[in-house]
Chains A and B, each alone.
Chain A
Amino acid sequence: MTGEKKKQPDLSVDCGGIKLKNPVLTASGTFGYGEEYAEFVDLNRLGGVIVKGISLNPLPGNPPPRIWETPSGMLNAIGLENPGVEVFLKERLPFLRTFDTAVIVNIFGYSPDEYVSVAERLDDAEGVSGIEVNISCPNVKAGGMVFGTDLQATSDLLGAVRKVTRLPLIAKLSPNVTDITRFGTAARDAGCDGLSLINTLLGMAIDVRTRKPRLANSTGGLSGPAIRPVAVRMVWQMAQSVSLPIIGMGGIVTAEDALEFILAGATAVAVGTANFVNPRATLEVLDGIEAFMTDQDIGSLRDLQGKVMSR
């Protein structure tokens, strides 16, 4: 022991033009609009908050049951219930703006026009650090085909949103595709500044006694630790082939989980379902990353990012 104090590691990152003081974010839809968790988490400590998905108009969401627990995970079919962009700007954003943390607004729509309108509205707003575009939504005008599972629809949609905003633009990709890297490439070519992956994996559970699906919506999105290996693999593949910064997510519960994503190539990470299980999960992940870096004498996150070795 030298008695010398180890240097504080540098946790700051630049995520496609969004400056984050540390890489720990909250995954959209799992942290409300920040307010729900402010009593447990000092929001000033977070790298940023990605808020619950916002659409042009308020949406009531799906009928219950909306969630079903599965081994080390859960299925959800919330139906993107949200108060709409105007209420968000008037009633939710002002609270978030009182904190020293990045505010990334997740948006979605059922037609390209809806996405564009929300993005335009946010572009004018004060205190938005970036836009995350959830493309795992059905395009009602194109027969309900999900934007994010069709390359052309993905390009067109992201290109249209790009035109109306100067804010950093992050594409939130669906994992329900054969080769996610092609969608990352499409997002880059459409002018996006970063990628978020992964959104939930489409799943289903059935009650064998009643023979009915567990969810009123029949299918739902699988999240939680159960999906983590799939998410790490996708982030790793993406980092190999697309040079955009990646926000990695999917089943992160601990700092070690988050570090897997960073080694696989993520610039930042988002904690999702774990918030439901432990409201302080984000801070525990953050403290754990810092402790790991101090312990291993790693001065900057850049020394970890994408540094998984070949076997």
Chain B
Amino acid sequence: MPSPRLCNATILSHTAAGRQYYRLVLKIPGTVSLPLPGQFVMLRVTDTIDPLLARPFGISSVLTRTSIEIFYRVVGRGTMLLSRTRPGRTLDMLGPLGRGFPMPEKGIQPILVTGGSGFPPLHLLAKALKKQKYRSVIFIGARDRSELPPAGILRSFKEQASALHITTEDGSAGKKGLITDLFAPYCSLPDRSVKAKIYACGPTPMLKSVSTVAAECSIPCFVSMEERMACGLGACMGCSVRRRAGGYLRVCKEGPVFEAEEIAW
């Protein structure tokens, strides 16, 4: 019984992308569903039992019907082992999983905000929005130049956007400061005549301030959350985040994309 969410993915290409990221291109069988913007996959980085659990990654591009692109940063043992895998090797892949970004209604202006390594799912979203003729305004923040999306992706973001704003905390690229320094005034423009929707992915503190701005300006806001995961299927209840209305929401199942006001920040 071939499942549309389980396969052996073959590494087609695996290269360093800029100073901080790796670009991983996977070939997937035609039986596997294609990811929607904001969905993710779980990859096993070894065939052995250590590390045991698969690692979740967003999708930055669907390159063809049978190939997808991932960008990741080495932050620990799992991603270190992943970075040593070579083209031709296969990796167990589960996905696409979770609920992605809802497309905006006609006439709405999308505002995309990303920080650090949160750019991959927003890149897939930006492409989908452009294809449907939306005029997206895109905000990209990073600590420094090397943490910005790699050059090819940055160029692509520029092509998808009607306006692109960049900040770095050290001023090594774009404007010096935090991304919310540009994003907040943009959202609160008094002459904002068109209705907007905000889409954000990045570190949790950034998502929290983005959601605060969104609430103040009464703009609907969708955030992609991260939490440690085991199964990716909603079974283990391990990746829960606090829900504003009480209880918890599973990042892998109800998320990873949530309406910002659902979350108890």
The answer to whether B235 touches A71, judged by C-beta atoms less than 8 angstroms apart, is no
Q: Which residues of chain A (66-90) have a CB below 8 Å from chain B? A: 66-69, 71-74, 76, 78, 81
Taking A32-B233, A36-B231, A39-B5 as given, write out 7 further A-B residue pairs in contact, using a Cβ cutoff of 8 Å, ordered by the A residue number.
A29-B236, A36-B234, A40-B5, A60-B247, A66-B237, A224-B52, A279-B6
Distance between B237 CB and nearest chain A CB, rounded to angstroms: 5
List residues of chain B with CB within 8 A of the CB of A63: 242
A24 within 8 A of B: no
Task: Indicate whether A36 sits within 8 Å of B235 (C-beta atoms), given known contacts A81-B240, A279-B94.
Answer: yes
The answer to whether A64 touches B233, judged by C-beta atoms less than 8 angstroms apart, is no
A78–B248 alpha-carbon span in the complex (Å): 11
The answer to whether B247 touches A276, judged by C-beta atoms less than 8 angstroms apart, is no
A278 within 8 A of B: yes
Q: Which of B94, B232, B238 contacts A67 (CB 8 A)?
A: B238
List residues of chain A with CB within 8 A of the CB of B227: 64-65
A to B CB contacts below 8 Å, 24 in the list:
A30-B231, A30-B236, A32-B233, A36-B231, A37-B233, A39-B3, A39-B4, A40-B6, A52-B235, A61-B237, A61-B248, A64-B240, A65-B227, A66-B239, A66-B240, A67-B236, A71-B50, A76-B238, A225-B49, A273-B52, A273-B230, A276-B54, A277-B49, A277-B53
Q: How many residues of A contact B (CB 8 A)?
A: 36
List residues of chain B with CB within 8 A of the CB of A280: 6
A305 within 8 A of B: no
Proximity bits, A73-111, B CB within 8 Å = 1, else 0: 110101001000000000000000000000000000000
List residues of chain B with CB within 8 A of the CB of A30: 231, 235-236
Smallest Cβ-Cβ distance to B240: which chain A residue: A64
Q: Which of A37, A39, A61, A67 contacts B230 (CB 8 A)?
A: A67
Q: How many residues of B contact A (CB 8 A)?
A: 33
A197 within 8 A of B: no
Q: Which DSSP category, helix, strand, loop or mixed, fits chain B's interface?
A: loop
Smallest Cβ-Cβ distance to A278: which chain B residue: B92
How many A-B residue contacts, CB cutoff 8 Å?
98
B241 within 8 A of A: yes
Task: Indicate whether A277 sits within 8 Å of B240 (C-beta atoms), given known contacts A37-B235, A42-B1, A67-B228.
Answer: no
The answer to whether A64 touches B6, judged by C-beta atoms less than 8 angstroms apart, is no
Distance between B50 CB and nearest chain A CB, rounded to angstroms: 5
A275 within 8 A of B: yes
Task: Indicate whether A66 sits within 8 Å of B50 (C-beta atoms), given known contacts A39-B3, A278-B92.
Answer: no
List residues of chain B with CB within 8 A of the CB of A67: 228-230, 236, 238-239
Closest 3 CB pairs of A and B: A67-B238, A32-B235, A276-B231
